[in-house]
Amino acid sequence: MKVAIYPGSFDPFTYGHKNIIERGVQVFDRVIVAVAHNTSKKTVFSVEERVQILNEVFKDRDDVQVDYFEGLLVEYIKRMGTNIVLRGMRTVSDFEFEMQMALANKTLSSELETVFMVTDSEFSHISSSVIKEVISLNGSASHMVPEIVEKRLREKLLKR
């Protein structure tokens, strides 16, 4: 069984992320969406909230598993018994960052393979900062994020 780990902060989870996951399960038997716990990054949602949201979005999918990790991605991947990292890219700047990360991970674990998937063009403009700004200004992000994400973002950002 080919299992890919799709790591990220997912703060917030977007239709671009969903696009990569749904296409990923066409290539791999299962995709584990691994929410990164990064204490140096200021997030809107806690790790637990992000995991809960993702579980809700993928509740009807047996081929998508939601988990979280802390520490080095290569160590998490080894614990999960796979060697495949799935990464989505929207822009050239994404490619530069992702290439650096893939090479660093490969240095830490030579068995690791990173598979890059380009987000469908209809999602290439979506970023967490754009979504947060739209919601903060009371706009609609329904074309950028699942309904549960927009609802939870409104609860968090508009009560400040």
Query: Which of 17, 18, 87, 152 is the catalytic position?
Result: 17
Q: Exactly one of 41, 42, 79, 159 is catalytic; name it.
A: 41
Catalytic site includes residue 46? no
Q: Is 143 among the residues known to form the active site?
A: no
The residue annotated as part of the active site, out of 18, 87, 90, 152, is 90
128 given a catalytic annotation: yes
The amino acid at 29: D
Q: Distance from CA of residue 131 to its chain's centroid? A: 15
Q: CA separation (Å) from 153 to 74, 82, 85, 137, 157? A: 31, 33, 28, 12, 6
Which of 18, 50, 87, 128 is labelled catalytic? 128
Give the distance, in angstroms, between the CA of residue 152 and the centroid of all CA atoms in the same chain: 17
Concerning whether 151 is annotated as a catalytic residue, the answer is no
**Residues 43, 10 contacting (CB under 8 angstroms):** no
What is the total residue count of the chain? 160
- Asked if 35 and 51 count as a contact pair (C-beta separation under 8 A), the reply is yes
List the catalytic residues.
Answer: 17, 41, 90, 128
